[in-house]
Amino acid sequence: MKKIGKKITAALLLLLSISFAACGTKEPAAPETPETPATSEEDLFTPGTYEGTAKGYHGDITLTVTVDENNILEIKSEHTETKGLGDKAVSTLTEAALEKASLSMDLVSGATYSSQGFLAALEAALVKAGADIEKLKVKESVEVEKKDQEFDTEVAIIGGGGAGLAAAVSAHQNGAKVLLVEKMPNIGGNTIISGSAFNAVDPKRQSAQGIEDSVEKHFQQTYEGGDKKGDPELVRVLVENAYPTIEWLESLGMKFTDKVFTVLGALWPRSHKPVEPLGTGYVNTFMNYINEHKDDITVLTEVEAKELLVNADGAVTGFLAEGKNGKITVNAKNGVIIATGGFGANVEMRDQYNTIWPKLTNIKTTNHRGATGDGILMAEKINASIVQMENIQLLPMGDPETGSLSGNIEQGVENRIFVNAEGNRFVDEGARRDVMTRALMEQADSMMWVIVDQHSYPTGDTVNNFNETIDSLVKEGRAYKADTLEDLAKQIGVEPENLVKAVEAFNASVDGAKDEFGRTLFMDKLDTAPFYAGKRVPTVHHTMGGIKITPETRVVDQNGEIIKGLFAAGEVTGGIHGANRLGGNALADVHTFGRIAGATAATEGNE
């Protein structure tokens, strides 16, 4: 249970939007009073304590709500929502409901399903309190004085995901005053909901595990893994600066585990995992720095950039934006960094540029809802070169209900197999992401089961890469558990004989037999109960096309000339990964080029 007081200041609301405290301890639900109508026409509620339950992202959200005639006095919550995201949504919406009894609250960015579950549970409780639900859902029209604003800064950044935050910190470290705008209510973008893997050649960690690697190997796998369509200069910058960027993050206080692994589609064990869940470690690290330097770094949320400002010489000098209370003009002495992410959540843009996949209209995405390609469109309007937009990455690892990567039971490439609806393997599970996804699309219902055993989950409270325990996933029906492969097969509806044969063949390959699909990445056999299965489908994950940049992150126009004062970093850029991005290279890209963009803009400006 979690108990939160009624009053909250604006400062605390801001803190809740960028900090990710875990849920408090849970208590038994308070007894519920009988359902009765409100005591008078003027009253909102019948005083008492009521309980409401609804499905969140990871199971039920149960709220115990205490009300008087016109106020929500207390909300206690019981849930298993993801630490760092879902629990933040519950906390933020609880405070909003206590501040003003209403059901018209906005969903928390990055935690849509948790937000919807909270509101549904609150509604269920307030129905029992005799509330007029439709009245509570009506947003009050508050007269807010529209006031245009103008800001002067040195480096202006559009986008508050990993690339934008990295750029903000780097620019400040290099002596610049910084202003960052983010159109969503919360900071974090796709980074905060990512699986968090960061590829880098790391002699210290890899040698401790007996792993041989080199920057050249990382370069070759990245370049060739993208069908040699990536810009070699940009690939070289990425692989040579990835580990220094990890060291930079560590210097800011971020912590990574000592063990590297092979994330899906990484092709080699060089993926680093943060200690904090999902991508919260990256965001918290940057926000801690930003909060310590508020005099020089300004962050504005719910501000959507609309148009780049260009002077008579063709240099970008700022941008126009729309805020909640009026128009905003940002003047940037040194220039503007676009870090708005890709367009994975923009179905129209996906359909417009897709030439390599079947129709993507009805395919869900791992991306947050703000990944709509805004920065690409703004840059294109001032003649920026836009490249390789057809290169859209799909993953075979989407949640069947949401498209999210959460709920995925794999811990690394080496210790799991994929089987189709018949219980048969169908692909090299260590292959490129596009290869695996194409193979999955050829299976019945484009669906597969991930199979692991106790090697991946020594105990029931072992967490996956999204900080979800395997026991919780089984309880929620998102994973299945059995002491035998035959029983597991029956639970998931595949042919037991096929599943047993698939596992036996895999185990033989671990011992050195040639794998029928050419797989080369192995560690442990699947031979120790309990065995687990999790269902997965294709999902849109990353858009490799976007704004063309130089190795210093300067934006190039359609004539090949540099656009003065304009920089770009992260998924909004194109030409780094080519036709296929290696797993674990996105966060390396985002933070490496974000760091470079901040330094370049701060020190060289619009020269």
Contact between residue 78 and residue 274 where contact means Cβ atoms under 8 Å apart = no
| Token duo for residue 318 | 């700022």
Please state, in angstroms and rounded to a whole number, the distance separating the CA atoms of residues 306 and 328.
10
| Token duo for residue 92 | 């933020």
| Token duo for residue 359 | 């129709």
Q: Which of 344, 347, 407 is nearest to 536 (CA)?
A: 407
Please state, in angstroms and rounded to a whole number, the distance separating the CA atoms of residues 183 and 194.
19
Please state, in angstroms and rounded to a whole number, the distance separating the CA atoms of residues 13 and 17.
6
433 is catalytic: yes
| Token duo for residue 128 | 């029992």
Torsion of CA 430, 432, 433, 434, to 10 degrees: -140
Q: Which of 194, 200, 202 is nearest to 162 (CA)?
A: 194
- Which contiguous run of DSSP H or E holds residue 496? helix 496-510
Please state, in angstroms and rounded to a whole number, the distance separating the CA atoms of residues 268 and 200.
10
Kindly name the residue from 205, 433, 536, 554 that is annotated as catalytic.
433
According to DSSP, the residues that pair with 534 across neighbouring strands are 450
Q: Which residue has the tokens 């900090």?
A: 19
Which residues in 363-385 are b (16+ Cβ under 10 Å) and which e?
A: bbbbbbebbbbbbbebbeebebb
| Token duo for residue 354 | 């897709």
Q: Which of 462, 502, 475 is nearest to 486 (CA)?
A: 502
| Token duo for residue 352 | 């417009």
Please state, in angstroms and rounded to a whole number, the distance separating the CA atoms of residues 550 and 337.
13
38: three-class secondary structure by DSSP: coil
- Triad 231, 233, 237: Cα angle to 5°: 115
Please state, in angstroms and rounded to a whole number, the distance separating the CA atoms of residues 559 and 546.
16
Q: Which residues are catalytic?
A: 433
